[in-house]
Amino acid sequence: MITIAVANQKGGVGKTTSAINLATALAATGMRVLLVDLDPQGNASTGLGIGHSQRERSSYDVLVGETSIEEAVVHTRVPRLDIVPATVDLSGAEIELVDFDARTHRLDRAVKAAQGPWDIALIDCPPSLGLLTINAMVAADSLLVPLQCEFFALEGLSQLLSTVERIRQRFNPGLSILGVALTMFDRRNRLTDQVSADVRAVLGKVVFETVIPRNVRLSEAPSHGLPALIYDHRCSGSQAYIALARELIGRLPATAQAAA
């Protein structure tokens, strides 16, 4: 199983929207996909229609307890897509974990022990660089970084990259950046064009060619408990995520590509 953390310590940049819709698009190619909701807000769980009664075991129990991923996983209505849901308990985990041995490796251990059928795991990170995101970075093979097309897009990125560098040096030397995805692109706004050109000039080829447009269908879908790809698969947002998934698969090692 290849593991990708969707991370950016800024909130509202499209992490959860990207995690849900990429997971769905990857599952549509035939891959068996595991989504791990690592945000105490549980937006990925809610957005996939997972009610609170289905969250008896959650990512909190995997991190803080002895619960395995198999025990916590819930099937979604998307074929081949399973999720480890999140609950608000997770907001206490950052503090509770401080006293644990190997507090940075709790998720890594659970992911390595997972025996399920999954080809790929996506981890939806919270908007911070705390212990939850660090657990995701230690567990991950690579990162996908959504970047909102706004004036301050690059602000905070150096902090993210230096965290990645520290994780590489101390815990996970193989951690790579799979790609940076530009989100909420607005064709009618010339500023976003400029931002996207600037970001590409600074970051180069790590930026995916596919750009996710600002599209109201993407923001409506979660309130129906559905990925946009199922809520309205023809909308520009869904089509963009299908293209992004294709590009993402092209960046995976050949062994992982074979599952698609």
CB neighbours (10 Å) of residue 1? 19
Burial class (CB in 10 A: 0-12, 13-18, 19+), 133: buried
Tell which one of 3, 16, 45, 172 touches Mg ion (CB under 5 A).
16
Q: What part of residues 161-180 is at the interface with Mg ion (CB under 5 A)?
A: none
The entry of Mg ion, ligand ADP, none near residue 122 (CB within 5 to 8 angstroms by kind) is none
Binding mask 145-164 for Mg ion (x = CB under 5 A): --------------------
Q: Which is nearer to Mg ion, 134 or 252 (CB)?
A: 134
Site residues for ligand ADP per CB under 6 A: 11-17, 43, 127, 183-184, 212, 214-215, 218-219, 222, 237
Residue 58 binds which entry of Mg ion, ligand ADP, none, CB below 5-8 Å type-dependent: none
Q: Smallest distance from the beta carbon of 236 to ligand ADP, in angstroms?
A: 9
According to DSSP, the residues that pair with 75 across neighbouring strands are 82
Residue 36 three-state SS = strand
Is residue 46 a contact residue for Mg ion (CB under 5 A)? no
15 lines the binding site for Mg ion (CB under 5 A): yes
As a dihedral over the C-alpha atoms of residue 25, residue 223, residue 59, residue 77, rounded to 10 degrees, the angle is: -50
Q: Minimal distance in Å, beta carbon 42 to Mg ion?
A: 9
Instruction: Note whether 141 and 3 are within 8 A (CB).
Output: yes
CB-count exposure of residue 201 (10 Å: 0-12, 13-18, 19+): exposed
